[in-house]
Structure 1
Amino acid sequence: KVVPLLLIHGWPGSFVEFYNILPLLTTPQEGSSVVFEVICPSIPGYGFSQSSSKQGLGHLETSQIFLKLMKRLGFEKFYLQGGDWGSIIATDMATMYPENVLGVHVNMIAVNTAGPNMKLMLGAFLPAGIVVSEKDQDKMYPLGEKFSYLIRETGYLHLQATKPDT
C-alpha cells in the first residue's frame, strides 16, 4: 500500500532536512505493507522556494497552498508531518481540512487560545490568588520582567520575525 505523506520543514531549514530518511520511508521494509509517497515542498521563502510577492503570506495561507499542491498531485487524502514552522502549518491543515488529513504528527506543539492569554493579562492587574495561585504568582509576574527574559533568551524568534530571509 502506498500512502501519501506531506513532510513540512521548519526554520531555518528546507526539504533537505528529510533527505536521509527518504529511503526508509519510500522503500518497502520487511514486515510492513506500507510505503510512503513523500511530498516535501519548501515553505515559500525557504530553501530554493521564492518568497511571496504579496504581503500577508503566513502559516494559514501556506496551509491553503499546500492543500492545493496535494490536490494538484492527485492526493485528496494524506498524512502530515511537521517540525517547527512546519508543525504550525501541519496543525492548521489538520484543523481546517480534516476531511483531507488522515493523520498528523508534529514535533513542536503550539497552542494559542484566547482564554489563557486573557487570564495571563488579567493576572497582572488582579491580586494574587484570583487568577493565579499565590504560590505561582512570582513565577508569572511581573510580566515586564518575564517578557524581558523572553526577549533576552529568544534570539531565534527575533531573527525569524525581523529577518526571515537570512
Structure 2
Amino acid sequence: MSAINPFHLAVPQSDLDDLRRRLAATRWPERETVADWSQGVPLAALQELVAYWADGYDWRRCEARLNGVGQFTTGIDGLDIHFLHVRSPHEQAAPLILTHGWPGSVVEFMEVIAPLTDPVAHGGRAEDAFHVVVPSLPGYGFSGKPSGTGWGVERIGRAWAELMRRLGYAGWFAQGGDWGGIVTTAMGGQAPEGLAGIHTNMPLARPSAQDRAQDGAEVREALEAGRRYTKFDSGYAKVQSTRPQTIGYALVDSPVALAAWIYEKLAGWTDNAGSPLDVLSMEAVLDNVMLYWLPGTGASAARLYWESYGRIGQSGPVLLPAGVSTFPKEITKAPRQWAQQILRNIVYWNDCPQGGHFAAWEQPELFVSELRACFSLMRQEQ
C-alpha cells in the first residue's frame, strides 16, 4: 500500500506579492459595447473583482481553512493526487468520494463537508453520516500535472477507486457534477470493487433520434438547452479541447485573464439574478481562482478537455444503483428517459427548485439533503 502523506499549505509570501504586482500592472481593454454579459465579463464587473483581489482578499484565511480540514497526497499511477479527507465521528458512516469539475475545485465542497460528516450537529441523523474524500482532479489544484497523455476520465475513475482502497474503504459511494459527474459515471460503468452506487447533479445523456423526436415539454427544453449551449456557451470547451496549451499561456501568466475565464462561467452557470455575486461571495470566487493561480494549472486543467471532451457519454452503461438531482440552471438538460440510456438502474431522481451547475457550492443545504435522501435508499439495499 502506497503512503498517504499529510499535505500542509504554506504559500510563500513572495508568490502573493508577485500576484499583487501583476494585478497592479494589468493592461485593461476598453469596455464592452453591450449592456450585459453577452460579450463576456463586463469591464466594470471584472475590475471590481480584481480591485478586491488586490486590496481586500486574504488568501491566508483560505489557506488556514484548507489546512484545518485535513489535506493529503498520495502517488497513484505515477502522479501525486491531492485530496481532502474527513472522517465522521460516527463509525458506521458510509465512505463517499466527491469530485469537482472545471472551472471548480475542492473549495466547491467546503460548506458540505461538515454536515455530511457530522449530520447530528447539522440537523440530520447519525445514520446519514459519511466519511468524505474530496480529491483534486489531475492537473487541478495541488494534484500533480500529468507529463504525458492518457489522463482521461476513465483513468481518473480507476485512480479514485485505488484511492478509496488505500484509505481502507471496502464499500463506498461516489458523487460528482461537471467533469466530476463524468468521472463518477465512468466509475459507475467500471464498477470497481467496493463502489456501491453513484449520484450526479449533471446526468449524461445519449438520446437516439427517436428520443429526440418525442414530443413533450421536457424534451423540447433539453433540445433548446443543447442548442443554446452549442451556439452561445461552448467556445471555452472548443478552445480547451483543441488548443489547451495556447490558452494556457494566458491563464498561467495573467491572473486577470484567468479570473475572467473563470468568472464568466460562474456568471453563466449559477442560478443568479444577474451577477455571480448574487450566489457566491467574492471570497468564494477568489478562493477558487487561487487554486488555479497559485499552482499554475490553467493549461494542465484545460488538457482534460483535450483528453476526454469528444468522448463524453461514450463509457459503458452503469448497472450499479444511481441517483440524480437536477438543478434548474444546469448548463444542459437530460430528461430521465435520456439519462437511463446510460444509468440503467436509477433508484433516485429529484428535480430541485433552485440552484445551478455548481450545486454543492450554490446550494449546500439542498445538496446535502439530496445526498442523504439518495444514498439512504442505497444503504438500505446493502
Q: TM-score, normalised by structure 1?
A: 0.72
Sequence identity percentage: 38
AA aligned to 1:155 is: G
| CA-to-aligned-CA distance 1:107-158 (integer Å, 9 cap, x gap) | 1112348xx3xx59xxxxxxxxxx969xxxxx9xxxxxx99x8255312322
In structure 2, the partner of 1:23 is: 114
Unaligned runs of 5+ in 1: 121-130, 134-138, 140-145
In structure 2, the partner of 1:153 is: 233
In structure 1, the partner of 2:73 is: none
Unaligned runs of 5+ in 2: 1-91, 215-219, 221-225, 249-296, 299-382
Q: 1:83 to 1:31 in 2, by over 3 A?
A: closer
CA distance in 1, matches of 2:124, 2:102: 35
Residue 39 of structure 1 pairs with residue 133 of structure 2:
yes
Which consecutive segments of 4 or more residues in structure 1 shift more than 2 A? 149-153, 162-166
In structure 2, the partner of 1:69 is: 163
Q: Is the 8 A contact 2:105 2:141 kept in 1?
A: yes
Alpha-carbon deviation of 1:76?
Answer: 2.2
Q: 2:153 aligns with which of 59, 83, 92?
A: 59
Alpha-carbon deviation of 1:62?
Answer: 0.3
Q: Is the 8 A contact 2:97 2:134 kept in 1?
A: yes
Q: In structure 1, the residue corresponding to 2:189 is in which secondary structure?
A: helix
Q: TM-score, normalised by structure 2?
A: 0.33
Q: In structure 1, the residue corresponding to 2:203 is in which secondary structure?
A: coil
Alpha-carbon deviation of 1:98?
Answer: 5.8
AA aligned to 2:230 is: L
CA distance in 2, matches of 1:3, 1:75: 9
Q: Is the 8 A contact 1:12 1:46 kept in 2?
A: no
In structure 1, the partner of 2:84 is: none
In structure 2, the partner of 1:5 is: 96
Corresponding pairs, count: 141
In structure 2, the partner of 1:80 is: 174
CA distance in 2, matches of 1:159, 1:100: 37
Alpha-carbon deviation of 1:33?
Answer: 2.3
CA distance in 1, matches of 2:213, 2:130: 47
Q: Is the 8 A contact 2:161 2:192 kept in 1?
A: no
AA aligned to 1:158 is: K
CA distance in 2, matches of 1:13, 1:31: 27
CA distance in 2, matches of 1:12, 1:31: 30
AA aligned to 2:235 is: G
| CA-to-aligned-CA distance 1:38-79 (integer Å, 9 cap, x gap) | 000011011111221221210000001100111011112101
In structure 2, the partner of 1:124 is: none
In structure 1, the partner of 2:78 is: none
CA distance in 2, matches of 1:38, 1:160: 30
Q: In structure 2, the residue corresponding to 1:93 is in which secondary structure?
A: helix
Alpha-carbon deviation of 1:102?
Answer: 1.6
CA distance in 2, matches of 1:26, 1:15: 16
CA distance in 2, matches of 1:155, 1:10: 17
Q: In structure 2, the residue corresponding to 1:103 is in which secondary structure?
A: strand
In structure 2, the partner of 1:125 is: none
In structure 2, the partner of 1:143 is: none
Q: In structure 1, the residue corresponding to 2:181 is in which secondary structure?
A: helix
Which stretch shifts more, 56-65 or 28-37?
Answer: 28-37
CA distance in 2, matches of 1:132, 1:36: 42
CA distance in 2, matches of 1:31, 1:86: 25
Q: In structure 2, the residue corresponding to 1:40 is in which secondary structure?
A: strand
